[in-house]
Amino acid sequence: MVAPASSTLIEMHGIERTYIMGDNKVYALRGVDLTIERGASIAIMGQSGSGKSTLMNIMGCLDQPTKGKYLLNGRNVATLSKAALADVRGRMIGFVFQSFNLLSRTARSRTSRCRSCIRASAVARATTARWPRSSAWA
């Protein structure tokens, strides 16, 4: 018998992210605890510089915390190697960016024979068609 999947998809405990800027440390996140249930829709809000993008980067496995535990679908991804993290990203994470972040129109027209480029621009078009331009993202 297969055990039922937990209702929790994302669980963070004591997440910290520190950036080193020369002799200074920037404490972008200090001890974030967060639980997100499977199927939930959430918005992360806060003033500029409060750490939204830093948190989203960690949540999306683009970056890792300096300290703390991040369980994604029950697996601690806070300390994975870059290759393992890329694998998790490829299997579990989808990004919808505010801007295309794929190919500029100029680049697309220059590389119009490239199949993967055409696919990428089609995904970008489909993405923007589904989301209003005014959507707020971190």
The residues binding ligand ATP (CB under 6 A) are 19, 21, 26, 28, 46, 48-54, 138
Comparison of 3 and 43: residue with beta carbon closer to ligand ATP: 43
Which range touches Mg ion (CB under 5 A), out of 11-19, 21-29, 48-56, 95-103? 48-56
The nearest distance, CB 54 to Mg ion, in angstroms, is 8
Segment (H or E) for 1: none
Q: Is 41 helix (H, G, I), strand (E, B) or coil?
A: coil
Alpha-carbon gap, residue 100 to 128, rounded angstroms:
8
Counted residue by residue, the chain has a size of 138
H helices of 10-137, in order, are: 52-59, 82-92, 105-110, 115-130
The nearest distance, CB 28 to ligand ATP, in angstroms, is 3
Q: Which does 28 bind (CB under 5 to 8 A by kind): Mg ion, ligand ATP, none?
A: ligand ATP
The nearest distance, CB 39 to ligand ATP, in angstroms, is 25
Residue 80: what are its φ and ψ, rounded to 5°? -70, 160
The nearest distance, CB 137 to ligand ATP, in angstroms, is 9
How many C-beta atoms lie closer than 10 Å to residue 35's C-beta?
A: 13
Applying CB under 5 A, the residues found at the interface with Mg ion are 52-53, 138
